[in-house]
């Protein structure tokens, strides 16, 4: 059996290669860069919950049964996880779950817990006492392999304990000093709750660069690395590390030299950012006089003001579904109205695009009780869910339209795949508008499904604007799940297949006389911003911390060069070739990296 963290057998996928230009002395674990920046600090494993157990319990027979049931259920979970990871990421990455199953299958440990129950302890208390004691002993051993098992034992012990304890949701489980967070994966709602002052960086075993976790990390300006594989979870709390969000690696036990260079990199990035920040209100006009609008993506009412302060010329995407996460009931009309009104007022006359609910895919809202799906990204998601739950859709539209009388609100529908959906969404919006008797607002759609690109000429006749969602468009065009731990690195929005989709969309829009924006992650990528602009995208909507830098990049180049390079990029073979081309063509502008 492969040992967690040990070398993978030859026929299994090797751990991700460390980028050749990175030179660290410490132990480098490679993942995918999800949010830029470098940080140095102690590691901390993210825990969603606190587990509480009573010490004693009156009925030992019932406690014996509870313990056995919990052990059986945890073993079943691990078998499922093993199978799932094995399918998604290969045997080497799944091995950890197999190893965890074996750790659980330890008759001596189980017998010790049962003996404590016989002495009047509760099942949870007994189990915790036994596994914590063993993990403690293992952690003391000099053999690093055995010491490493302590983390595994704590992990698997906790998995069982969760079934025996009272679980309280909390994020207060963070220590009182800043840390680099490690997690198996984070849900968008977990990431949205993080306090950026206490989180120096994020590193997840799973996930992808366009996952919503990555998107939130970028908006909070926290360096992040995703898809680093389960071995990152073997690292103990408190261990020193560098999280290199630009290089896409976590470096455990960095040397003095590593720390020095990471600190230098931080200073350099800080200086560049400060220079960009000072110019953030200047428009993005290329050296040959072409203007590109740069707006911000937000997901929370309080971010509207930050978007304006960061130099955003509008909000190109408000992800309204974030108002629906982390709660037990959907926000009612008044609550939503208050949220939208707050944002519209904060924009102070600048336009804001409110996207209607895009629930589904990786944004799960349990209280809606939608049936589980085998393929949620291809399921009842976005506008499709709004048609299933027209009550939610109408309430949201009422709130948006009421807020629209206070400023330039545009409404945008996500996941439109075919013209009939747009027709239906527009009809419902119009009915709600008449009920409220408010003036019409500009309507637009996300272009993020390949069929919408192919039907863009027809769709363009029906709306005022398009906004290209490169995150989803990339996953649907390349048939690579945006969260997939193995495929995600290849699912780069600069792939020529995606760029050709952009070209086609812009052409259809041009013929119909409407404008095209882009609000996926690629719009905030230095090379991506230039290529999209070169393809005729008029508005780039990016994470708040990227607004000033995207403006600065555009001011440094000529549109004619961007157009020429974009045309060449359409003929490249893959995203890597596109990136190399941009580096080469814009070497004077620092290669746009
Ligand atoms: C996109 O798909 O590119 C997009 C901007 O929407 P989201 O990331 O919220 O799916
Ligand atoms: Mg999308």
**Which atom of ligand 1 sits closest to the CA of residue 319?**
9
Contact 416, 459 (CB under 8 A): yes
Q: Domain boundary residue among 169, 197, 221?
A: 169
Tell whether 123 is covered by a domain. yes
* Whether 153 and 295 share a structural domain: no
| Residue 326: predicted pLDDT | 78
Coil/strand/helix, residue 579: helix
Q: If you average pLDDT over every residue of the chain, what do you get?
A: 89
Query: Which residue of the set 203, 386, 519, 572 is catalytic?
Result: 519
Strand 409-413, strand 442-447: pairing: parallel
* Whether 159 and 302 share a structural domain: no
Mean pLDDT lowest among 234-248, 383-397, 460-474:
234-248
Tell whether 591 is covered by a domain. no
Contact 247, 398 (CB under 8 A): no
Tell whether 138 is covered by a domain. yes
Q: Is the pLDDT of residue 386 over 90?
A: yes
| Residue 154: predicted pLDDT | 78
| Residue 16: predicted pLDDT | 62
* Whether 164 and 290 share a structural domain: no
Quick one: average pLDDT of 185-199?
75
Q: In the chain, how many domains are there?
A: 2
For 235-266, write each residue's pLDDT tens digit. 989 999 999 998 899 999 999 999 999 999 88
Q: Is the CB of 362 under 6 A from ligand 1?
A: no
* Beta-carbon count within 10 A of 310 CB: 21
| Residue 135: predicted pLDDT | 83
Helices (H), 33-141: 60-89, 91-104, 107-118, 123-140
Tell whether 58 is covered by a domain. yes
**Looking at ligand 1, which residue's alpha carbon is closest to its atom 1?**
469
Ligand 2: distance of its center to the CA of 234 in Å? 33
* Beta-carbon count within 10 A of 583 CB: 14
The whole domain housing 88 covers 50-169
% of the chain at pLDDT higher than 70: 90
Q: Domain boundary residue among 143, 169, 195?
A: 169
Q: Domain boundary residue among 169, 190, 210?
A: 169
Tell whether 110 is covered by a domain. yes
Query: Which residue of the set 212, 386, 484, 572 is catalytic?
Result: 212
Ligand 1: distance of its center to the CA of 471 in Å? 5
Tell whether 481 is covered by a domain. yes
Mean pLDDT lowest among 42-46, 285-289, 586-590:
586-590
Tell whether 30 is covered by a domain. no
CATH of the domain at 69: 1.10.274.10
Q: Is the pLDDT of residue 11 over 50?
A: no
Q: Is the CB of 561 under 6 A from ligand 1?
A: no
Q: Is the pLDDT of residue 43 over 50?
A: yes
- Phi, psi for residue 560 in degrees, rounded to 5: -60, -40
Ordered DSSP codes for 432-487: HHHHHT----EEEEEE-SHHHHHTHHHHHTT-SEEEE-HHHHHHHHHT--TT-TTT
**CA–CA separation, 132 and 129 (whole Å):** 6
* Whether 415 and 561 share a structural domain: yes
Residue 10 binned pLDDT confidence (cut-offs 50, 70, 90)? very low
CATH of the domain at 563: 3.20.20.60
Coil/strand/helix, residue 489: helix
* Whether 362 and 488 share a structural domain: yes
Tell whether 142 is covered by a domain. yes
If phi over 0 gives left and psi between -120 and 50 gives alpha, with beta otherwise, what is residue 311? left
Coil/strand/helix, residue 133: helix
Q: Chain centroid to CA 74: how far?
A: 28
């Amino acid at each position: 059996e492969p040992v967690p963290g040990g070398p993978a057998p030859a026929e299994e996928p090797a751990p991700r290669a460390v980028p050749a230009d990175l030179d660290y002395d410490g132990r480098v674990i490679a993942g995918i860069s999800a949010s830029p920046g470098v940080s140095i600090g102690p590691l901390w494993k993210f825990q969603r919950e606190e587990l509480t157990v009573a010490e004693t319990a009156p009925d030992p027979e019932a406690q014996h049964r509870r313990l056995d049931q919990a052990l059986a259920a945890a073993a079943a979970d691990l078998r499922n996880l093993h199978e799932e990871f094995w399918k998604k990421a290969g045997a080497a990455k799944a091995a950890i779950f197999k190893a965890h199953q074996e750790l659980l299958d330890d008759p001596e440990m189980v017998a010790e817990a049962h003996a404590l129950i016989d002495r009047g302890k509760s099942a949870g208390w007994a189990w915790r006492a036994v596994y914590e004691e063993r993990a403690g002993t293992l952690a003391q051993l000099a053999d690093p392999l055995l010491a490493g098992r302590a983390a595994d034992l704590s992990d698997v012990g906790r998995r069982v304990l969760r079934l025996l304890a009272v679980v309280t949701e909390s994020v207060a489980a963070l220590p009182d000093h800043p840390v680099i967070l490690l997690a198996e994966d984070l849900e968008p709602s977990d990431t949205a709750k993080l306090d950026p002052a206490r989180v120096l960086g994020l590193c997840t075993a799973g996930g992808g660069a366009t996952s919503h976790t990555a998107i939130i990390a970028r908006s909070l300006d926290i360096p992040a690395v995703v898809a680093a594989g389960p071995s990152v979870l073997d690292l103990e709390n408190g261990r020193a590390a560098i999280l290199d969000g630009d290089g896409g690696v976590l470096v455990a036990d960095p040397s003095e030299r590593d720390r020095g260079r990471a600190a230098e990199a931080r200073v350099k990035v800080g200086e560049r950012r400060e220079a960009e920040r000072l110019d953030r209100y200047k428009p993005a006009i290329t050296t040959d006089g072409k203007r590109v609008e740069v707006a911000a993506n937000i997901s929370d009412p309080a971010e509207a003001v930050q978007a304006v302060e960061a130099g955003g010329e509008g909000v190109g995407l408000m992800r309204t579904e974030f108002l629906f996460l982390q709660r037990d009931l959907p926000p009612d009309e008044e609550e939503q109205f208050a949220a939208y009104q707050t944002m519209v007022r904060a924009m102070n006359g600048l336009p804001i695009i409110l996207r209607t609910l895009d629930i589904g895919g990786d944004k799960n809202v349990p209280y809606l009780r939608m049936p589980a799906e085998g393929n949620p990204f291809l399921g009842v998601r976005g506008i499709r869910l709004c048609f299933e739950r027209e009550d939610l859709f109408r309430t949201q539209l009422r709130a948006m339209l009421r807020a629209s009388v206070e400023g330039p609100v545009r409404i945008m529908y996500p996941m439109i795949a075919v013209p009939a959906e747009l027709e239906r969404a527009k009809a419902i919006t119009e009915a709600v508008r008449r009920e409220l008797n408010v003036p019409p607002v500009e309507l637009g759609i996300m272009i993020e499904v390949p069929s919408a690109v192919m039907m863009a000429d027809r769709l363009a006749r029906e709306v005022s604007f398009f906004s290209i969602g490169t995150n989803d468009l990339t996953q649907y065009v390349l048939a690579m799940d945006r969260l997939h731990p193995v495929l995600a690195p290849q699912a780069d929005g600069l792939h020529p297949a995606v760029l050709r989709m952009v070209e086609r969309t812009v052409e259809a829009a041009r013929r119909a006389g409407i404008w095209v924006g882009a609000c996926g992650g690629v719009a905030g990528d230095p090379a991506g911003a230039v290529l999209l602009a070169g393809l005729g995208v008029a508005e780039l909507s990016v994470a708040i911390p990227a607004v000033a830098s995207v403006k600065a990049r555009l001011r440094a180049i000529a549109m004619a060069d961007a157009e020429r390079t974009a045309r060449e990029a359409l003929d490249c073979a893959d995203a890597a070739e596109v990136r190399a081309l941009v580096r080469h063509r814009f070497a004077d502008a620092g290669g746009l990296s």
